[in-house]
Structure 1
Amino acid sequence: MPLVTSPPSNVTAEQLLLAEALVAAQLGIASLEGGTLAEAGVLGSSGLIVLTHPCVSIQALTLNSAPAAGILRGPWTVDVLSVTRGQPVPYTISYTWGWTAGTLPPGIRAAILLTAQAGAAAAGRVGLKAESMGPVSYQYTDTATQGSLPADALALLRPWLPLRF
């Protein structure tokens, strides 16, 4: 069942599910519906932990096996303030990632709806096309908007995009 449950009338449930899958893929995750994850690593000199999934809340954080505090600086980054910068320190973190229908951020919801509407509009245009200009004639298949996110949806997702190095 889709997370966005009240689509516009011209959008089918299948188009909505496809839009959710495209948005999740753009965010680098398999699904927008999440769970709880535990990760471990070594904290470097930056004092930042880069997560593998977009974090909604932190359940537990330890440094050198002792409880610690951190600030969620973005959906993918935790800043561990209590660390002396410059020393590698082992950490473990447990956090909740993903959303439910009631907690889905408005920007992600809007990106899903825009993508689904673009897919619905493209469904009527997909097929063999032909153009002629003078003696030159071209035939092609128009699938440009099927399976891709519109630019305005991509712009809405910018705050949730994973860090790329």
Structure 2
Amino acid sequence: MAEPAPRYVLLSGGAGYIGSHTLIEMLESSPEYAPVVVDNLYNASRESITRIEALTGKKVPFYDIDLTKDPATSGLDDLFTKYSFHSVINFAGMKAVGESMKIPLEYYSCNLSIVFNLLAVMKKHGVKNFVFSSTACVYGEPQYLPIDESHPCGYIIPVCCFFH
């Protein structure tokens, strides 16, 4: 019997801290999924992918693509054609709290364009599974612990507003 085709998952921001840890989990625990990493390496390193490949013994397709750019010219649209993605997990974006206080408009512009571009190319290619990574800072000062999804929002930092 032939092996089933892998379910390709686009892992945007996959070279960053949370993305790289998700990548390891996927490679070690979910053989039915084949992650493909896209990261512009703004606040990450290609070395993290190289180390994960050495650690897991598995090759990871990696593409240096700026997701804030038009999918038709950035290579993102071509990537969706090549891999026929099953899902997208988005960790890409600007997230530094201190910097977001200094340049909030740049943060909104960057993070919104990434999400809009991903959703547009997903729609074009019929991909319906999207995981959007948020942050606990949307809850502000915790009213109780542990924080859960029903906790009231109370963000006071610009980058947190985007993730709500």
Which category describes the TM-score, using the shorter chain as reference length?
under 0.3
Larger Rg: 1
In terms of fraction of residues, the more helix-rich structure is 2
Higher relative contact order at CA 8 Å, sep ≥6: structure 1 or structure 2? 1
Q: Which has the higher strand share?
A: 1
